[in-house]
Structure formats: C-alpha cells, structure tokens
Amino acid sequence: MIKILIVDDEEAIANLIRMNLVKAGYQCEVASDGEEAADAIEKRPFDLVLLDIMLPKLNGYEVLEYAKSMNIPVIFLTAMGETQQKVKGLKLGAEDYIAKPFEIAELLARVETVLRRYKKTERRIRILDIEIDTDSRTVLQNGRPVDLTTKEYELLLLFVRNKNRALYRETIYENVWGGEYSGTGRTVDLHVQRLKKKLGLEEHITAIYKVGYRFSDR
Amino acid sequence: MRLSWKIFFITTPIFVLFLTFFGLWMIQDNFNDSLDREVERCMVENQMFQNSYELTLHSLSDEQRAQASTKQLVESFHRRDDEAGGNARIYSEDGEVLYQDNALAVEHSIAGKLDEEHNTGYEIVRQGDETYLVVQASCDSGERIETTKNITAIYAGRSAMYARYQIGVLIVSVLVGGLILLALFLVMRNMQKLSSATRRFATGRYDARVKIGSSDEIGRLAEDFNWMANTMNTQMEQLQNEVTRQEEFTAAFAHELKTPLTSIIGYADTIRQMELSPEETDMCADYIFRQGKRLQSLSYKLLDLTMAGREDILLREIRAGDLLHEVERTVLPSLLEKQLTIQTEAQDGYIYGDRDLLISLFVNLIDNARKASDPGKRIRVVGVRLPDGYAVSVEDEGRGIPPEELSRITEAFYMVDKSRARKEGGAGLGLALCQKIVELHQAVWQMESAPGAGLKVTVRFSYPEEGRGRRRSRDRRRTRLQKTGREEKTDERSAAQRI
C-alpha cells in the first residue's frame, strides 16, 4: 500500500485531498503545520509528500529539506501561482507542483506520475481477468496477450487508475490525447468502443449520459 | 563644431582685425605728423636761404653783381659744412644750375608745379634706397632755389614700427586667443559635466547628480538639474512603493481567494465524479457552503475597504453614546453565541464623522476582540470626552498579540494565527479596513497588548477646527472634509444637494 503525507494548514483542502486519494487506493495521513509534518516524515516512511508552501511554524521549503533527507519525493501545493515560487520549489528539489485551484483528476495524474518515476507504483496491475505490465506496456487477458494501440493502452490505464470514478470526455481527451478538448469530436467515443470490444468490457465500462464513461470492477 | 570653438573662431579674428586696423591707423597718423613737420621745416629753411640770397643780391651794385659768380655770392652767407643748410641748388631762369653744394642730384619734376601764390613747392622723391624731400622756390629775380633733405629715416621709422607692431599683434593675439579658449573650456567643462549627468540620467541611472562649485548660470542650471532629479527620484520611489504595496495586496488577495475556491471546486468535482455515501456527500456540501461563506465575507470586506478608500466624506456631529450603543446592539447576537459579555460606558460627547464608517470601525474592532476571546470573557467599550475631542477604547481579555506582530496587524491579509483566524471566519482585512477609517477621520489609534493580557485599542478623534465653536452653539451645520482642507458650508441646501 502506498502511503502519502498531506501537509496543508487549510483543513478543508487537506480533507479534500485525503478523501480523493483514499478513494483512489492510497493510504493517507494529514499534517496541519510544518513541525507536525517534519515529525511525521521522520517517524514513518512515506512514499510521497504533498506539501503546501505557506505553513505555520515551518514553511514548505524547510519541510522539503526533511523529506529530501529521507529520499521522499515531494509535490508542492501552491496557491500563489507565481512562477518564482514554482521555480524556487523545483530548484530546491521538489518533483512537481500543483497550483491551486486544481482539479481532482489533475492531482491524481500528477501523484501517479511522480510515483511511477520513483518506481513506487505496482508494475503489474491486476483487475478482473486483465493483467497490465506497465514496464513492458503489455496487456494480458486470461494469460493471452491482447494487441492494443498506444491510445487504447493509455485509455485502459486511465480507466483502471480511476476505477469507479466518472470520467468526463474532456478529462479523458486531455489525459490521453493532450491539448484542449473541443467538445464535438467523436474520437473519445470511438476509442472507448474499440477498447470495450477488444477486452470484452461492455458491462464494466458504462456510458454516463451527458458526462462520459465510468469503469467499475464490480 | 563645438560651441567653444565656434565662439573662439568668431571672437579672435574680430579682435585681431580691430587691433591691426587701430595700430595701422596710429602708425600712419604718427608718420604723417613727422612728415608734415619735416616738410614745414624744409620750407622754412628754403625760405631763409631764399631771403639770404635775395638780400645779398640786392646789397650788391650792378657791377659787383656782374663780377661775382653765384657761387661766391652764396658762399658769402652759406657755409657748406653747415648741416642745416643741406643740399642747396640754384637754377637760372632757363634751368641751368648756377650753384650746388655737392654733386647730389635728385631727379624731380617739381618745376612748373610751384604754388602760384608763393612760388614754392615740394616733392618727395625716391631714389635708390633713399627718400628725399625736395623744396623749390623761385626768386623775384627769376632764379629758382632748391633745397633737398634726406628723409629716409622717417620712412625707415615707419617700417620699423610696422614690424614691431606686427610682432606685438601676433603676441597679443596668441595670448588673448589662449585666454579666451581657457575661459571657454572652463565654462564648457561644466556644461560637459551637466550634459554627461543628463545622459546618465536618461539611460536610467537615476542617482546621477552634477557637482559644480560656481554660482553662475551654469551652476544654477546644475542646481536645478539636481533638484529636478531629486524630485523625480522621490516620486519614483513613491510610485515604486505604491506598486510594491499593490503587488503584495494582489498576491495576498489571490492567496485568500484561491484557498476557498480550491475547496469549492474540489468538493464539487468530487461530488460529480464519485459515487459517494450520503454522509460523504453531506460533508462535501458542508465544505462547499462554508468556503462559499468565506468568499462572501471576503468580498464584502473588500467592498467596504474600497468604499472607505474614497477621499471625500461628510463629517457629521454624532452623539458618542448613541453610536456606541448602536454598535453594541449590532454585535450582541454574535457575542451571545460565543457566551461573551459586553460592557459599554460612554461619557456625554460628540464625534465628528461618517456614521456608517464609524459603526463599521467599532464593529470590526469588537469582532476582532470576539475572535481572540474564550467563552465567558468580557469585552469593554469605553468612551471618554477629551479637552479637544473624544476617545473610544475597545478592550478584551483575549490572548493578546506579541509586540513584534503589533506593527504588522494592520496589513491587509495579515493574520497572527492563520489557522485560528480561518476557523473564526476571518479574512485578514478587518484591521486594514479599520486603519483606513481611522485615517479618513484624521484620528489616531493606539494598541496596547501583551500575550495573554488581552488587547486594548484606543481611537482618539479630535474636533475639526471650526467644530469646537459649533459644538457649544449646538448648531447643526455640516463640515466637509476635503483633500485640501476643511471648508465650511453655511448653506444647508447646497450641502444637501452634494449628498
């Protein structure tokens, strides 16, 4: 189980992140000031720290030093949105930053990316009768390899990582294809149809009216 | 071409030209005088010779005259070695030389050009390197008497003068030219300094100043330049400070805005994407509601702050007691909710100000006191009449503020204990708003606090200048506070129209 420490003095935001990360299958702990965060980092091993910059007692940059000494990757949560702060954070050794206000999907994607970079995600994801090897980017169903295109593979990965979560067409488009979603194209729907057919997931990937799709493992 | 060279090339030749013409005129004048004098003298000598000759001739009888040669005749009164006699010649009526002192023969064409009246004339003749003055006069007896004088010395003197004067003019010209150049360069060096300072200033080095000791026009120009530069620097600094303050405010505002926005967007996003249990949905909705309220409070405070930012307000006479009791009524519900008590004591007196802004001021101060106080504590509001005004203090028994934070608490968005202030629903704008209102009323405020000993804020209002008399006469006229000062409006209607 991957353990993430959330450091934010705003209880509302800390709780929001915790709630969503737990739903995504991570184990979470919350610290509301710098000292509490430093104590937690020294006592327990974490796989990732989500760190606000403006904190009481110790600021985010100081807490970053603790995390670096324990070789724990850090993502900054910055409300300032100012380039200088971002640059400073990244220079000091943060892995990434998330500017407030953020969307949940973006948060999860960035957490996922950093964890993957640190090889902390599971290399093999098993779900239903499907097995995904993220190193070799191969997919097996009942032990037999399934031939997927790059986009189909990424689409599958997105669904699996956001299981039981409604994914908006725009979110899917932005994550798999990148760039702005125009809202008219049929690209997303066509790819989802093909993926469903190839893996026989008709019952698990359901269309949600006016929204997009949801993948559920039940 | 540079200005100093221009001035040099205009003045120096003019000076030299004038000097030369004046000198030439002087020398020529001097020479003419000498020549005239010499001619005069030679004429007189010639006259004397003629007289002597004629006297001698007349004193002789006819026989004697026939026997004696002209030479003997002349030698009887004229000695050859006499310098003053010079070269004398006597011609007969038909031009034959009857007598001559020596062989010196000067070519001339004087004969026939003699003055009709006196039968005399002179001519200046140049022969070889020498110059001669020849004077001729004809006697009654028909002979012509000629005297010649060498006047080369006069001409040589003039030439020598010319030569000397040329050297003099040259020396003086060089000297004067050098002096002019020196003076010009001294002046122009200052100009150069001024010019280079201006250029440095123009390229953005605003610390450029000119140091010129002289008190002439250029010195004064330099002083003016320095003055201008100082003024500009001061103004730029003010602008810079203003910009910095604005940036800080914007950054703090963005932060305050983004936190509730993040919560609202995040929880709403969660609700729309996830299948949540009813409890989880309730929790999300509650967060959205509370953070929405926080945004609301922030925007109201900001609006108040903008309203208080206007410079032109109407000062009215307000009974302090009424005002403070109205404030008490406003804050009472929120105080009761936190089980706090309020005690208001107001001496009889008047405050000049804007009623709404003053209520906002005291409500904010009491609100701060409420946030700092634990349940069961008391808040005291005391109004005291002063000789020249009125003072109101708000005192709590809360946790107080550390001395090092006291100076910063009026900054917008500054919070001593951020997480606590958030829980109490603070946006960090209350005291910044209070400060604006206090400044607008030209009042002063003072804060006394120690950690754990509560906070006491005292606001001192002074009466407007004209207000003192009016207070006694109980005249309900209005005073208008303007940027430029206070102006009394006696006309009730025109004041009312302005509102």
Q: Do A15 and B261 touch (CB under 8 A)?
A: no
d(CA B3, CA A160): 85
Whether B349 and B303 share a structural domain: no
CA dihedral B192, B196, B197, B202 (to 10 degrees): 140
Residue B350 Ramachandran class (φ > 0 left, ψ -120 to 50 alpha, else beta):
beta
User: Which one of A30, A104, A171, A216 would you mutate to disrupt binding with B, by most B Cβ within 10 Å of its Cβ?
Assistant: A104
d(CA B46, CA B387): 120
Q: Do A100 and B274 touch (CB under 8 A)?
A: no
Cα of A143 to nearest chain B Cα, Å: 32
Whether B316 and B362 share a structural domain: yes
User: Is B160 in the A-facing interface, judged by CB distances under 8 Å?
Assistant: no
pLDDT at B17: 92
Could you tell me if A36 and A11 are in contact, meaning their C-beta atoms sit under 8 angstroms apart? no
Domain boundaries, chain A: 3-117, 124-215
For B123, phi and psi rounded to 5 degrees?
-150, 145
Chain B residues close to A82, C-beta within 8 Å: 251
- For the beta sheet containing A124-127, the strands, ordered from the edge strand earlier in sequence to the opposite edge, are A124-127, A130-133, A138-141, A144-146
Domain count of the fold of chain B: 3
Whether B332 and B420 share a structural domain: yes
d(CA A34, CA A57): 6
Chain B residues close to A15, C-beta within 8 Å: 287
Q: Could you tell me which chain B residue has the CA closest to the CA of A103? A: B266
3-state class of B61 per DSSP?
coil
User: Which one of A6, A16, A84, A172 would you mutate to disrupt binding with B, by most B Cβ within 10 Å of its Cβ?
Assistant: A16
Whether B315 and B287 share a structural domain: no
| CATH number of the domain to which B105 belongs | 3.30.450
Whether B124 and B14 share a structural domain: yes
Q: Which residue has the tokens 């926005």?
A: B261
Written as one letter, the residue type at B237 is E
User: Is B285 in the A-facing interface, judged by CB distances under 8 Å?
Assistant: no
Cα of A41 to nearest chain B Cα, Å: 22
- How is residue B241 written in tokens? 């400070």
Chain B residues close to A19, C-beta within 8 Å: 270, 280
3-state class of A73 per DSSP?
coil
Cα–Cα distances (Å) from B46 to B37, B79, B116, B138, in that order, read 14, 15, 17, 10
Cα of A99 to nearest chain B Cα, Å: 9
User: Which one of A13, A84, A97 would you mutate to disrupt binding with B, by most B Cβ within 10 Å of its Cβ?
Assistant: A13
Q: Do A100 and B259 touch (CB under 8 A)?
A: yes
Taking Cα atoms as reference points, which of B409, B416, B301 lies closest to residue B360?
B301
- For the beta sheet containing A205-208, the strands, ordered from the edge strand earlier in sequence to the opposite edge, are A166-168, A212-215, A205-208
Q: CB within 8 A of B343, min separation 6: which ones? A: B378, B379, B380, B381
pLDDT at B492: 40
Cα of A137 to nearest chain B Cα, Å: 28
CA dihedral B355, B359, B361, B362 (to 10 degrees): 130
- How is residue B100 written in tokens? 């001559």
Q: Could you tell me which chain B residue has the CA closest to the CA of A10? A: B419
B181 domain residue, yes or no: no
Give the domain-ending residue among B97, B129, B162. Answer: B162
Q: Do A166 and B273 touch (CB under 8 A)?
A: yes
pLDDT at B418: 60
User: For the domain bounded by A3-117, which CATH number is listed?
Assistant: 3.40.50.2300
3-state class of B283 per DSSP?
helix
User: Is B273 in the A-facing interface, judged by CB distances under 8 Å?
Assistant: yes
Could you tell me if B258 and A100 are in contact, meaning their C-beta atoms sit under 8 angstroms apart? yes
Q: Could you tell me which chain A residue has the CA closest to the CA of B252? A: A80
Average pLDDT estimate for A119-141: 80
User: For the domain bounded by A124-215, which CATH number is listed?
Assistant: 1.10.10.10
Cα–Cα distances (Å) from A144 to A157, A198, B315, B395, B495, in that order, read 18, 12, 87, 78, 91
Residues of chain A whose C-beta is under 8 A from some C-beta in B?
9-13, 15-17, 19-20, 23, 32-33, 54, 56, 79-82, 100-105, 164-168, 211
Whether B321 and B453 share a structural domain: yes
Whether B343 and B371 share a structural domain: yes
Tell whether ipTM is more than 0.85: no
Could you tell me if B271 and A165 are in contact, meaning their C-beta atoms sit under 8 angstroms apart? no
Q: Which of A80, A164, A166 sits opposite B255 (nearest CB)?
A: A80
Q: Could you tell me which chain B residue has the CA closest to the CA of A104? A: B266
State the residue range of the domain holding B150. Answer: 3-162
Q: CB within 8 A of B76, min separation 6: which ones? A: B56
Cα–Cα distances (Å) from A133 to A192, B101, B190, B370, in that order, read 20, 151, 82, 59
| Residue A65: band (very low, low, confident or very high) from pLDDT cuts 50, 70, 90 | confident
User: Is B494 in the A-facing interface, judged by CB distances under 8 Å?
Assistant: no
pLDDT at B493: 40
Give the domain-ending residue among B283, B307, B331. Answer: B307
- How is residue A163 written in tokens? 């299981």
Whether B57 and B157 share a structural domain: yes
- One digit per residue, pLDDT tens: chain B, 499 residues? 678 888 888 988 898 899 999 999 999 999 999 999 999 998 898 888 888 888 888 888 777 777 777 777 777 777 655 554 467 888 887 777 777 776 666 777 776 677 777 778 888 888 888 888 888 888 877 788 888 888 888 899 999 999 999 999 999 989 988 998 898 888 888 888 888 999 998 998 888 888 887 778 888 888 899 999 999 999 999 999 888 877 877 777 777 788 788 889 889 988 888 778 888 899 999 999 988 888 887 788 778 777 776 666 777 888 888 888 888 888 888 888 888 888 888 888 888 888 878 888 888 888 888 888 888 888 889 998 888 889 998 888 888 777 777 777 777 666 666 655 655 556 667 777 788 788 888 888 888 887 777 888 888 988 876 544 444 333 333 443 333 333 333 334 443 343 3
Preceding peptide of B278 cis, ω within 30°: no
Whether B422 and B493 share a structural domain: yes
Whether B51 and B113 share a structural domain: yes
How many inter-chain contacts (A to B, CB under 8 Å) are there?
Answer: 80
